[in-house]
Amino acid sequence: MASQRKPVVVVTGASKGIGLAVTKILLESLDAIVVAISRTRTPELVELLKTHTSTLFTIECSVTDATGFTQAIVLAQKTYQHIDGLILNAGVLEPLGRIDSADIDAWKSHFDVNFFSLLTALKATLPALRKSELGGKVVFVSSGAAVGGMAAWGAYNASKAAMNSLCRTLAQEEPDVVSVALRPGMVDTGMQEMLRSDGASQMKEQDYARFVDAHKNGKLVKPEDSGHVIAALAVKADKSLSGQFVSWDSEQCADYRRK
């Protein structure tokens, strides 16, 4: 008989934007226990904690602190005895700028957040994910930039492409863990605000205008929409998706979108 316990899902970058939306959906719509890892505890996350005292565990930690991040995951497993899902959402866009003027140290810092932290999380969670009788799941929050090449986004394009490659490799190495990289679309988050305020000086005019127009015309994706797909994949992704890079609004994800 299938276990009736709640799935335990670790979410990085859980204090705002997509991560906060995913955390709320997991708690309120998918009956999950959430371990929310973020650098800060925002007022919105604190409010969630007030109403989900037994099913939300918040840990303040930078994903670039490998020791602290690993300890946070170990603590989560000790607290709940299980980890069934991992949502790798924490990430940054900066630095923006052309390759010929790239700050190498800034690129290295970017990869510490967007790529090497993924390895830290996977090494710490894979033993539990392999043992999950609910079926371990890993959702990589990726981007269309992984397969694009927008000027001035060199670090982000490269780190998201590396993320997708890591997802494919993980699917080959861990056949009992479902690994999915998801494109969440152009989501209405702080990253979009930053692009509109700072992007004009770095990006091509037509690229910058695309983001400004999407906001002006109400075309940005709500965090709750693509967030629902991310949350649902973390608890019930089908094995047929393992290793794939899929868009939140694709036919492959139709069963995971909010009704």
Using one digit for the tens of pLDDT, what is the confidence trace for 1-26?
345 899 999 999 999 999 999 999 99
Q: Report if residue 228 sits inside a domain.
A: yes
Is residue 141 included in any domain, yes or no? yes
Query: In this structure, are residues 235 and 33 in contact, taking their beta carbons and an 8 Å threshold?
Result: no
Task: Give the chain's domain count.
Answer: 1
Tokens 């299980």 locate to 82
pLDDT in tens, 78-121: 999 999 999 999 999 999 999 999 999 999 999 999 999 999 99
Q: What is the pTM of this model?
A: 0.96
Q: What is the mean pLDDT of residues 151-161?
A: 97
Cβ-proximal residues to 111 (8 Å cutoff; 6+ apart), any chain: 155, 158, 159, 162
Q: Is the peptide bond before 43 cis (omega within 30 degrees of 0)?
A: no
List the domain range (segments joined by +) for residue 104: 8-185+223-248
Q: Which residues are catalytic?
A: 142, 156, 160
Average pLDDT along the chain? 95
pLDDT value, residue 2: 47
| CATH code, 237 | 3.40.50.720
